[in-house]
Amino acid sequence: MYYIGVDLGTSAVKLILMDKEGNVVKTVSREYPLYFPKPGWSEQNPSDWYENAVEGIKELTDGVDAAQVAGISFGGQMHGLVILDKDNEVIRPAILWNDGRTTKECDYLNNTIGKDKIAEYTANIAFAGFTAPKILWLRENEPENFKKISKIMLPKDYLAYKMTGVHCTDVSDASGMLLFDVKNRCWSKEMLDICGIDENCMAKVFESYECVGNLTKEAAQRMGLTENVKVIAGAGDNAAAAVGTGTVGDGKCNISLGTSGTIFISSDKFGVDDNNALHSFDHADGHFHLMGCMLSAASCNKWWMDEIIKTKEYSEEQKPVTDDMLGNNRVFFLPYLMGERSPHNNPAARATFTGMTMDTDRTDMTQAVLEGVAFAIRDSFEVAKSLGINVTETKICGGGAKSPLWRKMIANILNIKVSVPVTEEGPALGAAMLAAVGTGAYKNVEEAASHIVKIKETIEPDKEIAARYEKKYQQFKKIYPALKSVFDEFD
C-alpha cells in the first residue's frame, strides 16, 4: 500500500508517495503565489493551496494503481487564519504565520488581559504570528467579514475539509492558535469569549493520527483516486517534521536549521516554563512537546555569505575552521536579524558582532555566525533543561544541517550527540507516516518511527571542545541582556 504526505508550505506544496517500509517512491512540488498587500502583511488564497495539491497528487500517483493508495495526511504551515462563511466559501485571503499586522492585538492580549491569564488558558502567550490576534484584528478592522464567519480553520485543515467535507483540525496545529487548551486538548472557552467567537465556529479536534473521513466522490474523481482513501488529520509543520525524524516519545529532540531554527523536544508530560520562553504544544504522537523557535538560523549564514562577503562557496568558507579553533573564537554574533522569538520574545532585538580586534579576519566572523546560531539554540535548550527534561541526543535536519562544521558545533555547544537521519523529507514524510498509522499499517506513531526512521551518521561531542564552548556560552548569554535597552531605543 501507498501513503501520501502533503507538506503545505508558505511558498509551495510538497507531496511524497511512501510505501509501508518508509521508502519515498516519488516526490512532487508545486509553487503558488504569496501576497504582500501592505508592508508587514502576508496573505495567500486557500484555493491556490487546494488546486495545487490536487494537481500535485494527480502527478504523484500517475502510473500507480489507485486502489493501492490507502491514506493521505498533512503537515502544514501553522497559525494562518482561514475563514469560511455559511456556504463554506472563503471570505477573504488567509492571513499567514509571518504576517506582522497584529502588534496592537498582541499587546492587548499579553498586557491588558495579561500573560498569566493567557498562559493559564492556552499554555502560551501571544505572538504576532498566532491566530487569535488575527481574529481580534479582523473584528476591529474588517467587521463585515468578521460577522460572516461560520468556520475558522488552519491552512492544512482547509485541504482536509475540501477532500472530506469535514471541518477538522488536529491537536498540534490547534495548539498554535492561542485558542486551544493545550493541557486538556480542547478549545479554550475563555479565549473564544475574549475573541468573540462561538465554539460552533471552530473545527472538530482530532489526534494527528486519527482518520477524519474518506475522500468525497468529487475529490476522489479529481485526484484519480478511490473513495476508499482515508484522510488523516495530520499535524502542524514542526510536529510533522518531528515525526519524520523520529522525534516521538519522552525526551526526544530535533533541531532544525532552516531559514528559521527550531529546537523541538517531545515529552510524555505537559510542561510550561515560568516565562513562556518556549511554546508548549500538543504533539502528533498523542503526548506533548516544547519548542523554541528562532527567527533567523540558516538565513544568518546566507545573509553573511550572499550579502556581506559576496560568495556562494559556503563550504569553502567553512574549510579553514579547524577543531583547535572551536571554542577559541573571540568574536561573538547575536543572530537576531529579524528580531527574536524564543526565548527572548523581542521583535526589537538586532544582530551584532562583538569582540572584534585588529587581527579579526573573515574566517573568525564566518565561524562566529555559525556559533551564534548554535548558542541561541542552546538558550532554548537550557529552558527545557530547567523543567527537568533530560536530553542526551538530538536529530538534526534542514539546509544548515548539511554543514559538517555546523553539526559539530551543535554537538559540542549543547554537549549532546547529534544524529543525521537517512531520509530528510521534512513535514511531508511525517505526514505520510501519520497516514500509515491512521490507516492501520502501524499501531502507533512511535512504532512507525522506529520502523521507518534510520540514522546515517552520529556526531559525538568532544570533551575538550565542549569544555571550551561551555566557557564561551557563559560569555555569549550575557551579551543580549547587556544590549536589550539599546535595542529598545532603535527604530
State whether 365 and 477 are in the same domain.
Answer: yes
CB neighbours of 139 closer than 8 A, spacing ≥ 6? Answer: 146, 195, 196
Which of 325-348 are b and which e, b meaning 16 or more Cβ less than 10 Å from the residue's Cβ?
A: ebbebebbbbbbbbbbbbbbbebe
State whether 235 and 276 are in the same domain.
Answer: no
State whether 231 and 254 are in the same domain.
Answer: no
Other Cβ atoms less than 10 A from the Cβ of 114: the count is 12
Is there a domain that residue 139 lies in?
A: yes
Query: If you ran DSSP here, which 8-state letter would residue 256 be given?
Result: E
Instruction: Please work out, in degrees rounded to the nearest 5, the angle formed at the alpha carbon of residue 246 by the alpha carbons of 245 and 247.
Output: 95
Is there a domain that residue 431 lies in?
A: no
State whether 145 and 221 are in the same domain.
Answer: yes
CATH (domain of 127): 3.30.420.40
What is the per-residue pLDDT for 258? 86
State whether 138 and 165 are in the same domain.
Answer: yes
Which of 210-241 are b and which e, b meaning 16 or more Cβ less than 10 Å from the residue's Cβ?
A: bbbbbbbeebbebbbbbeebbbbbbbbbbbbb
State whether 213 and 291 are in the same domain.
Answer: no
State whether 194 and 257 are in the same domain.
Answer: no
CA distance 100 to 129: 7
**Average pLDDT per block of 10 residues along the chain, 491 residues long:** 96 96 96 92 97 98 95 97 98 94 95 96 93 98 98 98 98 98 98 98 98 98 97 96 94 91 92 88 97 92 96 96 98 94 88 98 98 97 90 92 97 97 91 98 97 96 98 98 94 73
State whether 95 and 219 are in the same domain.
Answer: yes
How many structural domains does the chain have? Answer: 2
Strands 69-76 and 2-8: parallel
338 is in an annotated binding site: no
In angstroms, how far is CA 180 from the centroid of its own chain? 17
What is the per-residue pLDDT for 295? 87
Is there a domain that residue 445 lies in?
A: no
| Residue that is last in its domain, among 239, 271, 299 | 239
State whether 127 and 66 are in the same domain.
Answer: yes
CA distance 424 to 307: 28
Is there a domain that residue 454 lies in?
A: no
294 is in an annotated binding site: no
What is the per-residue pLDDT for 129? 87
State whether 353 and 482 are in the same domain.
Answer: yes
Which of 285-310 are b and which e, b meaning 16 or more Cβ less than 10 Å from the residue's Cβ?
A: bbbbbbbbbbbbbbbbbbebbeeeee
CA distance 56 to 396: 28
Which domain covers residue 154, as residue numbers?
A: 2-239
343 preceded by a cis bond (ω within 30 of 0): yes
What is the per-residue pLDDT for 341? 84
CA distance 75 to 156: 7
Is there a domain that residue 452 lies in?
A: no
What is the per-residue pLDDT for 107? 95
Strands 235-236 and 69-76: parallel
As annotated, the active-site residues are 237
Instruction: Please work out, in degrees rounded to the nearest 5, the angle formed at the alpha carbon of residue 52 by the alpha carbons of 47 and 57.
Output: 130
Is there a domain that residue 234 lies in?
A: yes
Instruction: Please work out, in degrees rounded to the nearest 5, the angle formed at the alpha carbon of residue 118 by the alpha carbons of 116 and 124.
Output: 95
CB neighbours of 166 closer than 8 A, spacing ≥ 6? Answer: 160, 204, 212, 213, 231
CA distance 350 to 488: 10
Is there a domain that residue 436 lies in?
A: no
State whether 210 and 275 are in the same domain.
Answer: no
State whether 230 and 339 are in the same domain.
Answer: no
| Residue that is last in its domain, among 204, 239, 274 | 239
In angstroms, how far is CA 144 from the centroid of its own chain? 32
| Residue that is last in its domain, among 213, 239, 265 | 239
Is there a domain that residue 444 lies in?
A: no
